[in-house]
Structure 1
Amino acid sequence: MVCDRKVHHGPRTWAVACALAVALFGCQSGGSVSDALDPAAVAAGAQQPGVAAPGPGQATQTLGTGPARIAMLLPLSAPGSVGENGRKMLDAAKLAMTDLGNPLLTLTVEDTRGDATYSQQLAVKAITSGAKAVIGPTELPAAQHVAKLSGSNRPVVLALADNFAGGPGVYAVCLTEADSAAAGAGAIAAKGGKKFVLLVPAGASADIFEKRVANSLSVYGAALAITIPYTSADSAAKAVADMGSLVDAPDAVIVASGDSNPSPILIALKAKGIPGKSTSVVGTNRWLDHPTSPLFEGAYIATLDQHETGPISDRFKATFNYQADVNVAYAYDMVALTAGIASAAGPNGFNRQVFENPNGFRGSTGLFRFRADGSSERSMPFYRIEKGALKLVAKSTPSF
């Protein structure tokens, strides 16, 4: 169930992509709007006492005239880069609707203003107002709250929050650092690596990292020898010294950096001769948020294939007069996916079995699929950093 990215995107393309899932799993069961959430969950979504209401935002926008009602929650009037990204996602949605969705979807776009509490309220409203699917929110606390809600007939939520782990029926769309680390580690294990060390920022996400990487390695009979959480208060040298005292000659060291620059850890590793002939360094997509340093040289990274955005990048630039980025790609793909399902199965074809089709979907961010726990998996190319640039080591797989 994979579309050929060389084919111009259109309703027929995404209809073919979704038809197999619909044939296998059928359509959504009936149920009233009151079944969408438990009453307690609706109350929990109400604005919290003492929290100031957000300022004026953009008016609700409606795109398309199709029978499938889809809600999209974006931080359109938020300040700074958050609002800029929200507006990019809106332009992506407009392009996807022009390409695919106008006759299939009625897409209602609400401005969350970048306020997590207000975004949470809008999400509950969308869930309980008959939307067949919700695209967004982008605010991590709001996505995490929605993932905790329960309901017998809740529509799926395609969350656009960064570093969101997902939840049942609330899918993490964006590539997370844990997914990048797991894919990179798996690529080394596929070549014979058996013993791995994970250096990860301390915090609630450390356990998620460990599980994702360990699961990826287990496919190849490899394992994590140890996970070493570190904090900004800890010296990089201490974390690396701890590793040296606990593990002898690992095949690879996986370095997650979170929001921080990985350079301090890399300096400490280099002092120990890592990377070297017997030990590789595996980085993550978050490294690429920072200027490439000579310290990155020789490290491996699994990340999104920039060439996958080709089918929409040129048209997006021609339409909106600026370059598409990953935020554009994520938003375009989610609108395209809902349009494809509406074309193949009709407005009642939105259910978790369809979205969790193990064969996945191909869009402008490549091949991806959603798991039952809400996390996502992506087929990504594997790179080695050479002379400050990403050099392809292995192409992404054409199927799962």
Structure 2
Amino acid sequence: MFAVFNRARKIVLTATAVAATALTAACVPGPTTNSGPTINTNKPVPVALLVPRGSAQRGDDVLAQSLENAARLAIADLNGVQVDLRVYDTAGNAATAAAVATQAVNEGARIILGPVYAEAANAAGIAAAKRNVNVLAFSNNTSIAGGNVFVLGSTFENTADRLAQYAVRQGKRNMVVVSDNNAAGMAGRDAINQAAVRTGMNVSGSVSFDLSQQGVINAIPTITSRVRQTGADVMFMTATTAGALPLLTQLLPEAGIRTTEVQYVGLTRWDIPVQTLALPGVQNGWFALPDPVKDEAFRARYQSTYGAAPHPIGGLAYDGIAAIGALVRAGQSDALTGAALTQPAGFQGTGGIFRLRPDGTNERGLAVATIKDQKVVIIDPAPYSFAGAGS
């Protein structure tokens, strides 16, 4: 679920399912401060995990179990750091999330991981702020990060920056942005535009389309005309494999926008599901993904331990515990304050390095990949550190 909140934290503008990345949101506005509870590092650190178990939404119980499993897997890897994990069910409900967040801090939680869905994460963040407790939400919506809420999910801004930087290094300078006419598409478009500014690329055109078969078909002449008129060498798309991407990448080459002449770039994962790799139109396209070696190692370990694959965002719970463990290991009582959480070296997670920023957003070290002969090929590996990331 992708949701956008206004700064009053009350209005959900729109929501739409977006592939398997479970785009989610939480919001407590205002700048992140150095506040946070002190801890006794000689004792187990109480950590609350808020999961959507009990929700009426299909698959939420599976997601909840995957998050809990991943968190416990991370705890087993902490080597000397003790974590007292306490799991609370939100039922995917805002009022319940606020209540259990309050219960968690009353019962001693020094930091909260989760919850998942927009209203629930928002409510939990507000409740925890009253007790000076930070929240690491399973979210990737940067518009609602800040205050005591940090988002753990890979963000549009992070992905757009990575791909735009790579494009510039390859001599690309002129892009057309093609975006879905919905909340996720508009957020993705804005992230791409901002990345273009930061990297010096020129956005020579922007075309949006309604998320329907006819909407995509109707947009093809406009996209084609814009690319040709501007001489764009990059077409940056927000479409997902579960949405318009298959149709776009079929119709655009047929209309003459060939991948050998214009570089197709995707803001979302083009390798999930695996059937997407067989589509002719995605061949030679660029997209970003977590460090595949580390990601596969986590998935294999999870599968071996629990007998099933983790949920696509299950690894975020592992990352949260890994960050907490790295900070607590240093033995400082302020390990869970905003200043500690945003230390620039970052952390090692299931998909490689990541770090939290003072504004509540995050940066993840992503790889750039392409598709050749129906296989994923890494063309620019994920970085190994932010000038020395913590482990």
**The TM-score by the shorter chain falls in which range?**
0.7 to 0.9
Opposite residue 255 of structure 1, the aligned amino acid is M
Q: Which amino acid is 1:156 matched to?
A: N
Residues 1:188 and 2:167 aligned together: yes
Aligned to 1:303: 289
SS of the equivalent of 2:330 reads: helix
**Equivalent of residue 248 in structure 1, options 230, 243, 261:** 230
Q: Which whole-Å deviations, capped at 9, do the CAs of 1:177-200 have from their partners, x for residues lacking one? A: 554344223321221211112212
Residue-by-residue CA offset, 1:36-55 (whole Å, 9 max, x unaligned): xxxxxxxxxxxxxxxxxxxx
The correspondence for 1:74, drawn from 31, 47, 51, is 51
Given the two structures, how large is their TM-score scaled by the length of structure 2?
A: 0.76
**Residue from 263, 267, 270 that aligns with 1:284:** 267
Q: Which of 243, 251, 262 matches 1:268? A: 251
Tell me how far 1:243 sits from its aligned partner.
Answer: 3.2
From 327, 334, 337, give the equivalent of 1:351. 337
8 A contact 1:185–1:282 mirrored in 2: no
Structure 2 CA distance for aligned equivalents of residues 222 and 269 of structure 1: 22
In the TM superposition, 1:218-237 aligns within 5 A as: 218-233=197-212, 235-237=215-217
Counterpart residue type for residue 71 of structure 2: A
Counterpart amino acid of residue 199 in structure 1: V
User: Which residue matches 1:55?
Assistant: none
Kindly indicate whether residue 111 of structure 2 is the aligned counterpart of residue 133 of structure 1: yes
Q: Distance in 2 between matches of 1:144 and 1:225?
A: 37
Counterpart selection for 2:352 from 321, 344, 366: 366
Please list, as runs of the form range in 1=range in 2, the aligned pairs for 1:1-400 lying within 5 A after superposition.
66-78=43-55, 80-100=58-78, 103-126=81-104, 130-146=108-124, 151=129, 154-161=132-139, 165-168=143-146, 169-177=148-156, 179-233=158-212, 235-246=215-226, 247-258=229-240, 259-290=242-273, 291-292=275-276, 293-324=279-310, 326-400=312-386
Counterpart residue identity of residue 387, structure 1: D
- Structure 1 stretch displaced more, 389-398 or 367-376: 367-376
Q: Which amino acid aligns with 2:262?
A: T
Helix, strand or coil at the partner of 2:77: helix
Percent of aligned pairs sharing the same letter: 21
Closer/same/farther in 2, CA of residues 348 and 87 from structure 1, 3 Å limit: same
Q: What secondary structure sits across from 1:235 in the alignment? A: helix
State whether residues 114 and 138 of structure 2, in contact with CA within 8 Å, keep that contact through their aligned partners in structure 1.
yes
**Paired AA for residue 279 in structure 1:** V
SS in 1 for 2:85: strand
Q: Give the distance between the partners of 2:111 and 2:290, measured in 1 at CA.
A: 25
Q: What is the deviation of 1:273?
A: 2.5
Q: How far apart are 1:379 and its partner, in Å?
A: 1.3
Deviation at residue 115 of structure 1 after TM alignment: 3.2
Aligned amino acid, residue 373 of structure 1: D
Asked if 1 retains the 8 angstrom alpha-carbon contact of 2:111 and 2:336, the reply is yes
- Pairs aligned (count): 343
Q: What letter matches 2:63 in structure 1?
A: N
- The secondary structure found in structure 1 opposite 2:68 is helix
Counterpart CA distance in 1 for 2:105 and 2:79 is: 20
Give the TM-score normalised by the residue count of structure 1: 0.75
Q: 1:104 to 1:394 in 2, by over 3 A?
A: same
Q: Distance in 2 between matches of 1:204 and 1:120?
A: 25
Contact 1:157/1:171, CA 8 A, preserved across alignment: yes
Q: Which consecutive residues of structure 1, in runs of 5 or more, have no partner in the other structure?
A: 1-25, 32-64
Say if 1:284 and 1:303, in contact at 8 Å, map to a contact too.
no
